[in-house]
Structure 1
Amino acid sequence: MLFTLTYEPAAAAGAPPANRAEPTAAPAPAPGSDIDATVLGFLLHKHPARVQTFEAPVGDIHVFYPEATPERCTVAVLVEVDPVGLVRNKRFRGDAGSLDHFVNDRPYAASSMLAVAIGTVFRTAMTGRSDSYPELAASPLPLRIEIPVVSTRGSDDDLVRRVFEPCGWRVEERRIALDPQYPDWGDSRYSSVTLTGNVRLAEAIRQLYVLLPVLDDAKHYWVGDDEVAKLERSGEGWLAHHPERELITRRYLLHQRSLLAQAGDAPVTTGETPLRVLRAEAVLTALRDAGARRVIDMGCGPGALLSRLVSDRSFTRIVGVDVSARSLEHAARMLRLDAASDAERERIELLHGSVVYRDDRLRGFDAMVLMEVVEHVDPSRLAALEDAVFAGASPSSVIVTTPNADYNALYPALEHGRFRHDDHRFEWTRAEFREWADAVAARRGYTVELRPVGVEDAVLGAPTQLALFRKEVVAE
């Protein structure tokens, strides 16, 4: 699969479409400009005189420049995909018994694999940072992007135009016939697409990163909670005001209800701040209110809360615990523990463990956080959780967050009686959560305070509920 991006300073790219969601921030270089087009290499952090190859799980990624002159510079990204290798790789959910895992369009059509390649080779360019040409990096440039084969799975004929035109692109789309020798068979679901416009380079790359999987309406890898954060980062500056934001969000997150709720694709009245961010901020506030410095993140997952704890130097000892070894590997990579100093390695530790078993390694801490953990435990195991956390570890404070089932009625994509996540074993109403929290506090010698997380509905409360348990001080 392939795409090319061309920068031609003297080209008059023309005005953006009238329905662009947001005006450009600065004028494009004027026709006749004396800018050397090969500065594209500096903006992309890839030298025009070199052919570079990068190894990635999807295959080999080649970056090269078919042309690099002062007047015109084109970069090409070619991904060599090995479909059989992907089948054998458990990361990509291969199924050797399914023929379509071997015979497919992956080596040819732009899809999530090309998006992964873009994120791999242009990671710095996507941030918009350029030490050599900061003004060009911050300005719209006359760009041309050509994608020979784009998949538009399950979409209408106008989808490419609907998602790209509001970003400032002029769209030329040519449908590819099923078989040129048999025109009566009609068109395939593939198109050849050319985009031209005055767009900031970083935004152009981030738009491709998001919209290629959206067009295909599929991803070749498991979609987890970190996809929401990827969408937020890559959509910065253009997605919030896009007229097709809801469609883009749903397709990018593969229509998963739990992720859509996290992304705010429901009437969660939290404005532009996603609920998962508000939840993490509420937990940090509770930790500070409790005076905690030594903290356990129980059920840490890939490290969403750990990264916030690590960045706050008031937390002097941080331990992440999870039953999934794979999640701990993700957390270690995100925290860059392999490159951490000895002092940081002493401050941060990742442990394999479970919330339903006592663990002597977890005793003596100021606080333990169970952020969106309790609802993943079978009800029959809640007594074991209570024993392991409140009696076994016995921290000075315990912070528990969990969905408010009352609020589920406000999620239009959530069918009545269904949970927000497929792995939830239950979801408590506010009354049920209070009953559980009060009983645990009474049995284990803690006081408990309940707090709402997110903007509250007058009748149904907040989308998330938080309990702050504090160990009672026994007077001598």
Structure 2
Amino acid sequence: MLLTIATTHFPATELGYLLHKHPDRCQSFSLSFGQAHVFYPEANTQRCTVALLLDVDPVKLVRGRSARLEQYVNDRPYVASSFLSVAIAQVFSTALAGRCKEFPELVETPIPLTAKLSVLPCRGGENFLRELFEPLGYSVSAQGHILDEEFPEWGQSQYFSVELQHTLPLSDLLSHLYVLIPVLDDDKHYWVGDEEIEKLLRHGEGWLTAHPAREQITKRYLKRQHRLTRLALAQLAEEDNPDPDSAEESHAEEEAAVEKPISLNQQRMNAVIAALKQRAAKRVIDLGCGQGNLLKLLLKDGFFEQITGVDVSYRALEVAQERLDRLHLPRNQWERLQLLQSALTYQDKRLSGYDAATVIEVIEHLDLPRLGSFERVLFEFTQPKTVVVTTPNIEYNVKFENLPAGKLRHQDHRFEWTRAEFKNWANRVAERFSYTVEFQPVGTEDAEVGSPTQMAVFSRNS
């Protein structure tokens, strides 16, 4: 079984530091089921490739137990499976944990990576393979193999040679492989108990909670044991369902209090709705809809024919539904609305097919390394005709008397951009994904620091 990971990050040989494996050495590691070998087929400043070769000993697998013939003769030595996950965890343990003494800043840096799996069993076919990796932002290439070249009429096998490409931290790639390889194989070579829940949650941290296929991933990873699956899904739900009276809500109230003296939220909503109507966008999806502020206004306006709210937080969607229920609209009006749980950094087919997408005061809540995934999901895969993005203008913060100097408007903001930074980002995105972009100030514009909110309206090139 062979796994290779390549990068063109410059200098590419820094991959060796991340993996704690020197490119000039060939190393072997003893495992309970065989041996793992690590070597570098190529290593220079332009491109570096590491190979993990797994040699599974079928005799070791059954030693000390009464064995049947099929335990000696099977596909385990030749295909990616839970054996490879164990090898990744043991041989690349430091990289998987995201540690590197020599280059600590490189651990969290997204770098271009290409992973190739020589033979990967995909029980569920190529579509399931894509459903697992594409929402995480990967470009997936899969070559199927027939059962027997001498008897092509036997049809295709469940085995694929797979190439995965993405720009992300190495530890994220290893975590995805660690969890999803045995999920695709739909089997594990060892007993699965309660400790497997902890492994799943640890290695799925930051991505599994909002993955569209999280229930299937959880069920297969835990070998379809109902009790373990229920416990794991319950813990994932706890991570995703914040109490509306928690710190998150208090932070949102704090931001609203900062902006309330100038009625900024209302001005922002009015500007967004005007931009949508100007572009005749009747089918609108609000990404990161929170507790439904924009949805409420769209639903009350008969101009809009289809309205969808999307948020990663299930609890936020519950609150949004409760607030929208208070509108007491006629039954036929509710048919225009739906609420979906999804994440902005994962591909989700349900998000496609809309005239416009709104992203209102959302991007500043994303970690910068994940902003690239958001860009691809929205502009490359979802591809609405119009995209409306608003974000705070940090230059204007000095005008808020109740905001201490140097403090951002919301404690969960990862950044707030200047006007120049926002325009540079929006222009780069528009050029990369074949959109044009226009900029509009929201709120009273100051001669020195601009407006409190900045808005970009993207239009897809035909």
TM-score (norm 1): 0.49
User: How many residue pairs end up in the alignment?
Assistant: 242
CA contact (8 A) 1:168 1:199 kept: no
Q: How does 1:243-258 map to 2 (within 5 A)?
A: 243-258=212-227
CA contact (8 A) 1:246 1:265 kept: no
Match for residue 142 of structure 1 among 112, 122, 125: 112
Q: Does 1:119 align with 2:89?
A: yes
Structure 1 residue aligned with 2:287: none
Q: Secondary structure at the match of 1:213?
A: helix
Q: Distance in 2 between matches of 1:194 and 1:230?
A: 25
- Flag the 1:269–1:147 CA change in 2: closer, same or farther, 3 A: closer
What whole-Å deviation, never above 9, does each CA across 1:318-374 have from its counterpart, x for those lacking one? xxxxxxxxxxxxxxxxxxxxxxxxxxxxxxxxxxxxxxxxxxxxxxxxxxxxxxxxx
Q: What's the offset of the Cα at 1:179?
A: 1.5
Q: Distance in 2 between matches of 1:272 and 1:138?
A: 23
Q: Distance in 1 between matches of 2:173 and 2:120?
A: 16
Q: What's the offset of the Cα at 1:88?
A: 1.2
Q: Does 1:2 align with 2:13?
A: no
- Flag the 1:131–1:271 CA change in 2: closer, same or farther, 3 A: closer
Q: Distance in 2 between matches of 1:124 and 1:157?
A: 31
Q: Distance in 1 between matches of 2:219 and 2:69?
A: 28
Q: What's the offset of the Cα at 1:159?
A: 1.0
Q: Secondary structure at the match of 1:176?
A: strand
Ranges in structure 1 where 5+ consecutive residues have no aligned partner:
10-34, 274-476
Q: What's the offset of the Cα at 1:222?
A: 0.7
CA contact (8 A) 1:62 1:78 kept: yes
Q: Distance in 2 between matches of 1:177 and 1:50?
A: 37
Q: Distance in 2 between matches of 1:201 and 1:271?
A: 24
What whole-Å deviation, never above 9, does each CA across 1:19-56 have from its counterpart, x for those lacking one? xxxxxxxxxxxxxxxx2100000011111111111111
Structure 1 residue aligned with 2:52: 77
Q: Distance in 2 between matches of 1:144 and 1:261?
A: 34
Q: What's the offset of the Cα at 1:272?
A: 4.3
Q: Secondary structure at the match of 2:233?
A: coil
Q: How does 1:170-319 map to 2 (within 5 A)?
A: 170-265=139-234, 270-272=238-240
- Flag the 1:85–1:133 CA change in 2: closer, same or farther, 3 A: same
Q: Partner amino acid for 2:60? A: G
Q: Partner amino acid for 2:26? A: V
Q: What's the offset of the Cα at 1:113?
A: 0.3
Q: Distance in 2 between matches of 1:241 and 1:256?
A: 22
What whole-Å deviation, never above 9, does each CA across 1:234-280 have from its counterpart, x for those lacking one? 111211111111110100000111211221259x974449xxxxxxx
Q: Partner amino acid for 1:148? A: S
Q: Distance in 2 between matches of 1:118 and 1:164?
A: 18
Structure 2 residue aligned with 1:390: none
- Flag the 1:8–1:102 CA change in 2: closer, same or farther, 3 A: same
Q: What's the offset of the Cα at 1:135?
A: 2.3
Structure 2 residue aligned with 1:129: 99
Q: Distance in 2 between matches of 1:239 and 1:146?
A: 22
Structure 2 residue aligned with 1:105: 75
- Flag the 1:70–1:148 CA change in 2: closer, same or farther, 3 A: same
Q: Partner amino acid for 1:56? A: L
CA contact (8 A) 1:177 1:188 kept: yes
Q: Secondary structure at the match of 2:210?
A: coil
Q: What's the offset of the Cα at 1:180?
A: 2.1
CA contact (8 A) 2:79 2:119 kept: yes
Q: Distance in 1 between matches of 2:138 and 2:199?
A: 23
Q: Distance in 1 between matches of 2:125 and 2:14?
A: 38
Q: Secondary structure at the match of 1:222?
A: coil
Q: Does 1:161 align with 2:130?
A: yes
Q: How does 1:37-76 map to 2 (within 5 A)?
A: 37-76=12-51
Q: Secondary structure at the match of 2:189?
A: coil
Q: Partner amino acid for 1:132? A: E
Q: What's the offset of the Cα at 1:102?
A: 1.0
TM-score (norm 2): 0.50
- Flag the 1:67–1:235 CA change in 2: closer, same or farther, 3 A: same
CA contact (8 A) 1:249 1:265 kept: no
Q: Distance in 1 between matches of 2:46 and 2:152?
A: 40
Structure 1 residue aligned with 2:336: none
Q: Secondary structure at the match of 1:209?
A: helix
Q: Partner amino acid for 1:222? A: W
Q: What's the offset of the Cα at 1:182?
A: 2.6
CA contact (8 A) 2:40 2:48 kept: yes
Q: Secondary structure at the match of 1:37?
A: coil
Structure 1 residue aligned with 2:290: none
Q: Distance in 2 between matches of 1:262 and 1:184?
A: 44
CA contact (8 A) 1:213 1:252 kept: yes
Q: Distance in 2 between matches of 1:224 and 1:246?
A: 18
Q: Secondary structure at the match of 1:171?
A: strand
Structure 2 residue aligned with 1:151: 121
CA contact (8 A) 1:95 1:101 kept: no
Q: What's the offset of the Cα at 1:130?
A: 1.6
What whole-Å deviation, never above 9, does each CA across 1:215-242 have from its counterpart, x for those lacking one? 0000001111110000011111211111
Match for residue 61 of structure 2 among 72, 75, 86: 86
Q: Partner amino acid for 1:6? A: A
Q: Distance in 1 between matches of 2:108 and 2:221?
A: 26
- Flag the 1:179–1:8 CA change in 2: closer, same or farther, 3 A: same
Q: Distance in 1 between matches of 2:74 and 2:199?
A: 26
Q: Distance in 2 between matches of 1:5 and 1:269?
A: 33
CA contact (8 A) 1:171 1:195 kept: yes
Backbone CA RMSD of aligned residues: 1.9
Q: Distance in 2 between matches of 1:185 and 1:260?
A: 36
Q: Percent identical across equivalent pairs?
A: 50
